[in-house]
Copies of this chain bind each other. A is one copy, B any other.
Amino acid sequence: MQEIERKFLLKNNSFKEEAYASYSIQQAYLNSHKERTTRIRITGEEAFITVKGKSSKSGLSRFEWEKNIPVAEAEELLQLCEPGKIEKTRYLIKVGKHTFEVDEFYKDNEGLTVAEVELSSETEQVKLPDWLGEEVTGDKRYYNSYLVQNPYKSWKE
């Protein structure tokens, strides 16, 4: 299937007061090639293997395939992944009929916070909450697969 989403930086941390849930995520990549990525993710008691293609020209949509896998198997697969595990907390915030996912990164990506909202079509309208900052949809620097090899802390260097 195709995943269609918009991505934003944040103006401030006020989204945290509006979050109805949060959970920690650890993930790494079996391959972080720009044409296709294969990700292993553990979130609490669930784990997934996810394959993504590259973005459409608009930067909005991208092939995505995902499968639930046992956490114990995901832990083994994480060992095999490319170096550079991503660790972050995800906050869920309901805004109108959409759910914004805000990821606050740790470790080598400390200081980075990114909001995403999934759309059902490229032209769907979304109400944008006032804590959103600059839109970075399609900017490959904010791909998690890019952050593995180019962590946020190294950007200013």
Contact among B30, B76, B82 for A30, CB-based, below 8 A: B30
Contact among B38, B49, B73, B77 for A31, CB-based, below 8 A: B38
Any B CB within 8 A of the CB of A53: yes
Q: How large is the interface on A (under 10, 10 to 19, 20 to 34, 35 or more residues)?
A: 10 to 19
Q: CB-defined interface of A60-79 with B at 8 Å, one 1/0 digit per residue?
A: 00010101010001001100
Which chain B residues border A82 with CB–CB below 8 Å? Answer: 35-36
Interfacial residues, chain A to chain B (CB-CB below 8 A): 30-31, 33, 35-36, 38, 49, 51, 53, 63, 65, 67, 69, 73, 76-77, 80-82
Contacts A/B (CB < 8 Å), 5 sampled = A30-B36, A35-B80, A38-B38, A63-B76, A67-B69
